[in-house]
Amino acid sequence: MVCTASNLLTEEKANKMKRSGLITTKIGMTRLYDDSGVAHPVTVLSVGDCTVIGNRTMDKNGYVANILGMREAKAKHVAKPQAVAAEKAGVKPYRKVVEFRVSDDCIIPAGTQLSAAHFIAGQFVDVQATSKGKGFQGAMKRHNFGGKEASHGVLKAHRSIGGTGMREWPGRVLKGKKMAGQMGNETVTVQNLKVYGVDEAENLIFVEGAVPGANGTFVLVADAIKKEQADLPVPTKMATAEKATEPETETVAE
């Protein structure tokens, strides 16, 4: 089945329609050159074996969503509840399972193999991943504090944060105070990144700019929520069926 023009997203339905995202893995960064010779830094994302393994419906669950899985997991690495759920759905257990809420007309049947063609060159996407962990860091690196003076009586406290609380009231450090602590290793979302190109043969997506996370990190990619975009395949671009071979006609010699 090939996505036709009648299935494409129009500007009139852009605000009502919500497509599913994809689970990808970060390969790394490189540069691509356009026709003018200008270099564009891009992040390479691999779609891999991202597959729809289930759906949520309004009648049964109270909301509509596609359940996606990526990277088939060994049986010994899967918890029993996940293994039972996969067996009931008739799919294989996957290491990474994510739900993407969608509109009613963007439900994708379970068992559908998704590809990089779900996105098109020139559109904008939002990406979400776990950032690199930096360990325990001081307030200057973690929160961009300016530090204290290098002279005028400051002794061995140039990078300290200074006072943290008040006196009689409230007599404690308020919750949320910017202090030293764990930096990184948290969920980070970057919005409005442009898709520079798509490689359907290798199942790769090239996104302009940097994407959070180390190489090999799972990255969730979805249509940008702050952009109105048209001509997107709805609900996705299905795999093209192989054309039937026409029977060969034998030529008869006169």
- The gap from C-alpha 202 to its chain's centroid, in whole angstroms, comes to 18
**pLDDT tens digits, residue range 198-219?**
999 999 999 999 999 999 999 9
Which residues lie across from 93 on neighbouring strands? none
Helix (H, G, I), strand (E, B) or coil at 193: strand
Is the pLDDT confidence value at 170 over 80?
Answer: yes
Is the pLDDT confidence value at 166 over 90?
Answer: no
Is the pLDDT confidence value at 243 over 90?
Answer: no
**pLDDT tens digits, residue range 40-50?**
999 999 999 99
The CB density around residue 206, as the number of other CB atoms within 10 Å, is 20
At residue 52, what are phi and psi to the nearest 5 degrees? -80, 120
Q: What mean pLDDT, rounded, does the chain reach?
A: 88
pLDDT for res 5: 46
More confident residue, 165 or 140: 140
Is the CB of residue 29 less than 8 Å from the CB of residue 42? yes
pLDDT for res 253: 55
**pLDDT tens digits, residue range 48-85?**
999 999 999 999 999 999 999 999 998 888 889 888 88
Over residues 137-141, the mean pLDDT reads 96
Is the pLDDT confidence value at 38 over 50?
Answer: yes
Rounded Cα distance between 100 and 56, Å, is 10
**Which pTM does this prediction carry?**
0.82
Q: Return the percent helix, strand and coil in the chain, to nearest 5.
A: 15, 35, 55
Is the pLDDT confidence value at 174 over 90?
Answer: yes
Domains in the chain: ranges and CATH: 1-132+186-244 (2.40.30.10), 133-184 (no CATH)
Residue 81 DSSP symbol: H
The CB density around residue 14, as the number of other CB atoms within 10 Å, is 15
